[in-house]
Every structure is written in structure tokens, then in C-alpha cells.
């Protein structure tokens, strides 16, 4: 169920097991002081913002929702996902470059139609909420109308969304190719109408280096330089054939990532998806610029792209956020994404704690996006984007929870077994925007 916009009741209290983070958990640390777990507490929401938390039941002035025995988390943040790609999720048999040409580009062409864009945006945003994702950094399509539809849909739902019209002026089919002059005008118009409005922000959205001419990359860099509050999003070093192609297209650049550095696209609001095939110099460039990698494990597995070295990123001092990358990824659920992230690290001989994964999907992403004063935790003053989850919904899950002997064991089993069926309610800025219909 997704409700139409309503004014939130002024005082709401949610009872349950509150879990959020006050700092970044260390790699491999299961007994982390960064975890703030407040079992059976009341989370107090005043005028759409977190006011605090307490063990005692608040008084009559509060609209009380008793979810005792349930898990209450900050809404998830998906830092890289494609609105139009619900139409191609779970497509068979290809790696990145074939997948783009065979499935993705044809599907995105259809978003030139405003009605198609409007319906696609509504379906997408409601699906995010149904998975407990209340904030997202999103690719629309090359069409201005698709970004307009996404901004309007997010505004209607009160969600924190960062998006932009995709820039791609070469190596793309008719109907999906823009040109530098028109693209710049479209960006400027979208920025003027949407950037900084309510909970929306504009991202200069370069699809990836192969589909933008050097002139278009320079235009994108100039846009970023014109306003440091703009975000930038793109893909980098996802797939080996793609990396080889970039080397041929940009022989002057030291590396794929260096193409973006040279164009002025690397700054602290830059979100780069994947980064599977980076080297130490790239990771140093990430740290120096303040840009970060949106790790997309489901997509990397599904498209056979490779195993991201999360630990090397941590050691280099650059941030890592977590992303579904639907439709390369196969689920909008950030819980399924966390479970895939664990498996990717396991394949690479590493172990990802539940804390590292949950932090990356909440406070870690908020910090990487310079939005920690608004989203990602239950700090007083943050906007009340809050999700209520069942610890378990079936006999196997319940049994596993019953035998867990530590909080980390329980949280890890939850992250490995749960999905959207565990979501009971999603609140956005203190308004309930999704409620499970059965159970
Ligand atoms: N690289 C360029 N475009 C895309 C896309 O749509 N999805 C993924 N996973 N990688 C890309
Ligand atoms: Zn992507």
C-alpha cells in the first residue's frame, strides 16, 4: 500500500528493537562499539523528525505504534539503481556490453514517452519503499522527461532522491543519444527546477566513459565546477571488456578512473558504481577527491563482472556504499544486496560483518553522500525515515533467531535470510508510506 501525501501526525512513537550506528564499524569486528542497539525502546518522532528514544512509554500526546519484538532500522539508502531497468531485471545470458545493447538500451528508449516515464517512476519508487529503501541515488534515462517524472514522484512521496538525466552522446542507439548543447540545456533546466527542492538533489549523470564524447565529459565537469552542491554519478571499471574499451578510447588517461579525474568529475559528491577493476593509484585518487564507490554485489555476480575488493577500499581510506544496481542487480532489496556482498567477500577470502554491511546501507552511505545530518541514523534532528521489520517470518527464520546467542549472530542471520516479506512498515519523514498487507 502506498498512501497519498498527508501531513504527518505531530507526535509519533514507535516501539521495538532500535538499531543504528554512531560510527563506522571496523573491518571484521563483530563486537563493535559503533553499534547502537536499544532493545524494546520507543523511537520518538516529532513533526517528521527524530526527537529521541526512551525505554519508558511516552504519554497520551503521542500516537503510539507498538511493534515490540520487531527490529526498527533507519530506512535503507540505495546509492546506485536504475529507474527504467525494472523492465530488464533478470534478463538471461549476457555480460555488461552485450546486456546494454541487447536488453537495456532498447528498454530505456521507451522512456522518451512522458506517460511511460510517469508510470515507470511510480512503479519504481513504490517498489523501493516496499523493500524498505527510503533514499536512493538513481539513474533516469537520457530523456529529460524521465528525470522530471522521477523527481515529481519522489517529491510526492517525500523521499530523499538524487537523480539526473543520463548523459550519453555516442556509442548509443537512436532515441537514446543526446548531444552536448541540448544535454547541457536540459541539465540546467532540471537543476533550476529540482535541485535543492524539498528532499531532491540533482546528479550530473554520465552513463560511463564509453558513451560520452570528450566534449560531453568536459561539459559535465564544468557543470560540477559551477555548483559544488551538485552530485555526480557514473559507472567505473565494472567489467574487463569495458575497461579494455576505455583504454582504447582514452589512450591519454592513466586508467579508467583517470578519465573522470581529467574531466573534473571526481569530487566529494561523486558516486561511482562498481570499481571492481581498480588499482592502488585509483583508490588513492578516490580518497583524495572524496568520491566513493557504490558497491553493487548482486549486479557484479549476475553480470559476471568480478569480485569487488572492499577491504582494499577500506585500507586505502575511501568510502564504500552499497547499491542494488537493478537491473544489472536482481533485487531492489538492500537486505538481499547485503547477503550478496557477504558472498562476494567470501569468494575473495574475506568476511563481511553484518555491522559493516548494515552500516554501509545506512549511516555509511549517508556520510558518503554528505547527508548524515538528514538520513541514515536515529540521531535527534534527522528526518524520520524509519522501517519496522520482522526478525523472522517463517519457521526456519524463527528457529534461527531463537538459537542465536549474540546480537551479531542474530543480525547476520537476519541479513542473510530476510527480504521484503519481513518489512512491516516504511515511514518517510514521519508519514507511513508502506504497510505490509498480510501478517
Ligand atoms: N555501464 C553503463 N551503463 C550501465 C548500466 O545501465 N548498468 C550497469 N550495470 N553498468 C553500466
Ligand atoms: Zn548501474
**Is 324 in the same domain as 420?**
no
**Is 199 in the same domain as 282?**
yes
- Domain extent, residue 255, equals 76-368
pLDDT for residue 9: 74
Any idea of the CA torsion for 267, 303, 140, 227, to the nearest 10 degrees? 0
Beta strands in 83-220 (DSSP E): 133-139, 160-164, 166-167, 200-206
The answer to whether the CB of 350 falls within 8 A of the CB of 313 is no
Pocket of ligand 1 (CB under 6 A): 82, 96, 100, 104, 207-208, 235, 238, 299, 325, 328
Global pTM reads 0.97
**Is 44 in the same domain as 121?**
no
Residue 366 Cα to ligand 1 midpoint, Å, equals 23
* Domain annotation covers residue 343: yes
Longest Cα separation, the chain: 68
Domain count, the chain: 2
Q: Is 84 exposed, middle or buried (0-12, 13-18, 19+ CB in 10 A)?
A: buried
> What CATH number corresponds to the domain at position 37?
2.30.40.10
- Encode pLDDT of 267-293 as tens digits: 999 999 999 999 999 999 999 999 999
Please tell me what DSSP assigns to residue 118.
H
Helices and strands, counts by H and E, the chain: 16, 16
Ligand in nearest proximity to the CA of 206: 1
**Is 175 in the same domain as 96?**
yes
Looking up cell 558516486 gives 271
H-helix segments, 48-135: 96-99, 105-109, 114-130
Any idea of the CA torsion for 19, 20, 26, 27, to the nearest 10 degrees? 70
3-state secondary structure 358-415: HHHCCHHHHHHCCCCCCCCCCCCCCECCEEEECCCCCHHHHHHHHHCCCHHHHHHHHH
**Is 59 in the same domain as 206?**
no
Ligand in nearest proximity to the CA of 81: 2
**Is 55 in the same domain as 82?**
no
* Domain annotation covers residue 42: yes
**Is 46 in the same domain as 84?**
no
pLDDT for residue 223: 98
Residue 86 Cα to ligand 2 midpoint, Å, equals 12
Q: Whose CA is nearest to atom 9 of ligand 1?
A: 328
pLDDT for residue 439: 52
Ligand in nearest proximity to the CA of 104: 1
Ligand in nearest proximity to the CA of 323: 2
Task: Point out the ligand 1 atom lying closest to the alpha carbon of residue 210.
Answer: 2
* Domain annotation covers residue 2: no
**Is 82 in the same domain as 61?**
no
Residue 154 Cα to ligand 1 midpoint, Å, equals 22
Residue 207 Cα to ligand 1 midpoint, Å, equals 7
CA-to-CA separations, 180 to 167, 168, 215, 252, 438, in angstroms, rounded? 9, 9, 7, 22, 50
pLDDT for residue 1: 46
**Is 59 in the same domain as 81?**
no
Residue 85 Cα to ligand 2 midpoint, Å, equals 9
CA-to-CA separations, 395 to 400, 421, 423, in angstroms, rounded? 9, 14, 17
**Is 361 in the same domain as 248?**
yes
Which of 106, 304, 328, 330 maximizes ligand 1 atoms within 8 Å of its Cβ, making it the mutation to test the pocket?
Answer: 328
Q: Which residues of the chain have pLDDT under 70?
A: 1-8, 438-439
Run of H or E residues at 261? helix 256-262
* Domain annotation covers residue 148: yes
Residue 385 Cα to ligand 1 midpoint, Å, equals 28
Amino acid at each position: 500500500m502506498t498512501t497519498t501525501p498527508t501531513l504527518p501526525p505531530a507526535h509519533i512513537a514507535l516501539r521495538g528493537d532500535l538499531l543504528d550506528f554512531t560510527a563506522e564499524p571496523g573491518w571484521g569486528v563483530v563486537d563493535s562499539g559503533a553499534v547502537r542497539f536499544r532493545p524494546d525502546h520507543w523511537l520518538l518522532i516529532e513533526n517528521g523528525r527524530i526527537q529521541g528514544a526512551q525505554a519508558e512509554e511516552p504519554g497520551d500526546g503521542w500516537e503510539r505504534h507498538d511493534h515490540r519484538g520487531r527490529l526498527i532500522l533507519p530506512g535503507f539508502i540505495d546509492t546506485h539503481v536504475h529507474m527504467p531497468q525494472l523492465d530488464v531485471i533478470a534478463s538471461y545470458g549476457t555480460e555488461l556490453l552485450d546486456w546494454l545493447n541487447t536488453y537495456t538500451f532498447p528498454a530505456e528508449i521507451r522512456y522518451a514517452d512522458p506517460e511511460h516515464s510517469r508510470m515507470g517512476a511510480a512503479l519504481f519508487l513504490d517498489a523501493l519503499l516496499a523493500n524498505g529503501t527510503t533514499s536512493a541515488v538513481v539513474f533516469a534515462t537520457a530523456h529529460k522527461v524521465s528525470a522530471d517524472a522521477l523527481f515529481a514522484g519522489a517529491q510526492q512521496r517525500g523521499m530523499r532522491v538524487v537523480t539526473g538525466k543520463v548523459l550519453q552522446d555516442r556509442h548509443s542507439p537512436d532515441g537514446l543519444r543526446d548531444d552536448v548543447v541540448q544535454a547541457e540545456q536540459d541539465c540546467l533546466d532540471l537543476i533550476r527546477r529540482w535541485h535543492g527542492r524539498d528532499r531532491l538533489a540533482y546528479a550530473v549523470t554520465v552513463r560511463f566513459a564509453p558513451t560520452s564524447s570528450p566534449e560531453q565529459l568536459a561539459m559535465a565537469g564544468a557543470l560540477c565546477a559551477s555548483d559544488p552542491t551538485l552530485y555526480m554519478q557514473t559507472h567505473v571499471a565494472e567489467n574487463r571488456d569495458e575497461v579494455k574499451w576505455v583504454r582504447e578510447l582514452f589512450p591519454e588517461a592513466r586508467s579508467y578512473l583517470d578519465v573522470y579525474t581529467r574531466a573534473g568529475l571526481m569530487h566529494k559528491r561523486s558516486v561511482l558504481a562498481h570499481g571492481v577493476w581498480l588499482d592502488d593509484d585509483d583508490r588513492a585518487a578516490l580518497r583524495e577527491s572524496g568520491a566513493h564507490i557504490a558497491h553493487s554485489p548482486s549486479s557484479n555476480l549476475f553480470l559476471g563482472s568480478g569480485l569487488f575488493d572492499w577491504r582494499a577500499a577500506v585500507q586505502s581510506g575511501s568510502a564504500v556504499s552499497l547499491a542494488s544496481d537493478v537491473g544489472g542487480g536482481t533485487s531492489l532489496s538492500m537486505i538481499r544486496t547485503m547477503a550478496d556482498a557477504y558472498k562476494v567477500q567470501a569468494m575473495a577470502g574475506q568476511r563481511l560483518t553484518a555491522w559493516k554491511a548494515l552500516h554501509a546501507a545506512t549511516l555509511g552511505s549517508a556520510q558518503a553522500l554528505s547527508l548524515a545530518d538528514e538520513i541514515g541514523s536515529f540521531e535527534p534532528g534527522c528526518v524520520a525515515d524509519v522501517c519496522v521489520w520482522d526478525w523472522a517470518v517463517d519457521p526456519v527464520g524463527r528457529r534461527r533467531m531463537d538459537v542465536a546467542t549474540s546480537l551479531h549472530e542474530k543480525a547476520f542471520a537476519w541479513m542473510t535470510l530476510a527480504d521484503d516479506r519481513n518489512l512491516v512498515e516504511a515511514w518517510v519523514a514521519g508519514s507511513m508510506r508502506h504497510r505490509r498487507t498480510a501478517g
